[in-house]
Amino acid sequence: MTRLHVISAATRPTSSGRPLARWVTGRAREHGGFEVTPVDLAEIALPFLDEPEYASTGNYAHQHTRDWSALVDSADAFLFVLPMYNGGFTAPFKNAIDFLYNEWKGKPVGIVSYSAGPTGGAPAAEMLLPVLTRLGMLPAEHSVAIPGIPKLIGAEGFEAPETLAAELAAVLADVAELAAQREAEPAAQAVAVTA
């Protein structure tokens, strides 16, 4: 089964992203094709990048980096739940990405963005895509952008609009398909070598 990490990219203590990430995690579990692990960047609490060597070497001097590396490496695919601040994605999230390199490479990723305003964080997701492509990740064709997030957080957590479950289902389907293609590649290569 595909190991999917749902990463909540917000680090503010009062972030609306946490209830949203819990809802996304629940939906991913209901999909049935994933072994789902929720990851909260605020709990990971990485410092600003403090490794002496390039991430591409995989030589990590600090335990927090080795722990983060092991967590990210254990995933087959990701869903990023990210806020938009001032038109872009957050510095702590970029920092978390930059700590690593090979651990991200070749893995499928879906994006769920949100904002207090009308864009739903879509500009942040658009800004993130070149970074993911540069890392060699495989972005899902579909994405989700959720506007007006403060109004969707109630006493019971995230209150999803009616159409949102279908939008997220499309992202999950993309991620599952990309993961299946990625898993099939080594088998196809092995057949080609023995043929």
Name the H helices within 32-163: 41-44, 63-73, 91-98, 122-134
**Which domain CATH number covers 16?**
3.40.50.360
Name the H helices within 32-144: 41-44, 63-73, 91-98, 122-134
- Number of independent structural domains in the chain: 1
Please give the residue range of the domain that contains residue 115.
2-194
Banded model confidence at residue 188, pLDDT cuts 50, 70, 90: low
| Beta pairing partners, 77 | 4
Banded model confidence at residue 181, pLDDT cuts 50, 70, 90: very high
How many C-alpha atoms does 137 have within 13 Å on its Cβ side?
A: 28
**pTM for this structure?**
0.93
- 128: tokens are 């993130």
Indicate if the pLDDT at residue 36 is higher than 70: yes
SS3 129: helix
Q: How many helices (H) and strands (E) does the chain have?
A: 6, 8
Of 73-77, 144-148, 184-188, the poorest mean pLDDT is in: 184-188
